[in-house]
Chains A and B, each alone.
Chain A
Amino acid sequence: MRAYVFSDAALAKQAGRFVWLSIDSEKAQNAAFLARFPTEVSPTLLVIEPTAERAVLKWGSSATVPQLEKLLEDGERAARATDGAAQSGDEVLARADRLRADTGSRAAAAAAAAYQEALAAGGPAWPRHARAVEALVMALDAAGDPVSCTRAARQHAPELARGPSFANVVATGLSCALSEPAGPPRIEDVRALEPLAREALALPDVLADDRSSLYQMLIDARTDAADAAAAKTLAADWLRFLEAQAARAPSAEARTAFDAHLVEAALKLGEPARALPALEASERDFPNDYNPPARKALVYRALHRPADALAACQRALARVEGPRRLRVLWQLADLQREQGDRQAARQSVDDAIRYAAALPAGQRDATGTKNALARLHRLRDQL
């Protein structure tokens, strides 16, 4: 969003409506903020009412400029709202947004119920209908209820106007469907949502990174159906799409936004070397960023070039701080293990575990850190 949405001159007229804050969740100085306002995904957009210091809107997705303009209006409304009785769709939506901004899966479930109420209060012609459906599906996903999330997506997506909200509902719904327990209902849900995701892929006003995520979901869906040929065809289309997007990016920063998906698409296609030119350019343009060498390490590993993988991983390690350092240390340890250097691997894992213990509370207690630590301990057990 930073490269393609927040830089859009059309948003300049919104500048006086809010005080604008950007929080890099990797920086230690932001740990206290994140402890107070936890987020589950990146990016997350928050509106905070400053007097009570309460988050009143939380949006765990990217947004186009028109979507963002609606969110700003909704954020102002939620900041003014109270927790008392609400009647109209807009009022109930404001209450739901305030609930969603609270922490935890229980709050997300309560918010989902309120979004259902808002949809009922607003009716099908309500201008916020699509926005509320998006919020409903994302809240059910955050509540850890993939079956209800899928059901809501299947119920509402067909009726939505074809645009970014439709694409987000379908992508989130398909992601939820793929998280359901294996069995016939999951197969049926995935089959029902796949054609809608293909439809969303062709829409002109969907953000490039959202379109890229749709490719990712569709490949996962075909892989889930054991349809390797279709998954590979999609991976080829995905990679071509990303290469074209990167080629016409307006700046180096905008171009690097495609690197992560470019690597994943190249790996899924079985042509990892195709990601290397972009990563070389990113490492040259941003020599202090750990991401390009960390990604190069993945690619070199897939290309069976262990020395290059190890060197790239070491370069990444020299540039990374915060929770992400745990992942790079894990990557390094895994490469060292593969190359038979168990002692070095053990050292890297121990370094990571010590580093995690020294992180500030807001970062140490984050779900991502806990997951990384669990993975490190599993690797430690293998060494």
Chain B
Amino acid sequence: MVALLGCRDRPPRPVAAALPFIEDDYARALAQARARKLPLFVDVWAPW
């Protein structure tokens, strides 16, 4: 059961960020990255 506790814990809410994150839309982010010729930075997280 302890596995349920997780380790890197973050609740599922919008990011209050200094950075303009696109939420859960890889296609849109990829299109923007290609258009702007910028690499894509991805934060893969889980709400636990």
Cross-chain contact B38 with A289 (CB below 8 angstroms) = no
A15 interface residue (CB < 8 Å to B): yes
Cross-chain contact A19 with B33 (CB below 8 angstroms) = yes
- List CB contacts (< 8 Å) of A196-210 with chain B: 209
B48, chain A: closest CB distance, angstroms:
6
Cross-chain contact B46 with A46 (CB below 8 angstroms) = no
- List CB contacts (< 8 Å) of A1-42 with chain B: 1-3, 6-12, 14-27, 29-30, 32-34, 37, 39, 41-42
A256 interface residue (CB < 8 Å to B): yes
Q: Which residue of A lies closest to B39 (CB)?
A: A79
With a cutoff of 8 Å between Cβ atoms, the chain A residues found around residue B4 in the complex are 294-295, 298, 327-328, 331
A79–B37 alpha-carbon span in the complex (Å): 11
A260 interface residue (CB < 8 Å to B): yes
Q: Of A137-145, A181-189, A261-269, A352-360, which stretch is located at the interface?
A: A261-269
Cross-chain contact A39 with B41 (CB below 8 angstroms) = no
A324 interface residue (CB < 8 Å to B): yes
Q: Which residue of B lies closest to A327 (CB)?
A: B4
With a cutoff of 8 Å between Cβ atoms, the chain A residues found around residue B43 in the complex are 1-2, 6, 20-23, 43, 45
With a cutoff of 8 Å between Cβ atoms, the chain A residues found around residue B44 in the complex are 23, 25, 34, 37, 39, 42-46
Given contacts A18-B39, A33-B26, contact A11 B8 (CB under 8 A): no
A96 interface residue (CB < 8 Å to B): no
A53 interface residue (CB < 8 Å to B): yes
Cross-chain contact A19 with B36 (CB below 8 angstroms) = yes
> Which 10 A-B residue pairs are closest in the complex by CB-CB distance?
A50-B33, A21-B29, A18-B41, A46-B42, A19-B33, A260-B9, A48-B40, A79-B39, A42-B46, A22-B21
- Given pairs A6-B15, A12-B19, A18-B40, 9 additional interface contacts (CB within 8 A): A6-B17, A20-B21, A21-B22, A23-B26, A42-B45, A263-B5, A291-B11, A291-B48, A331-B1
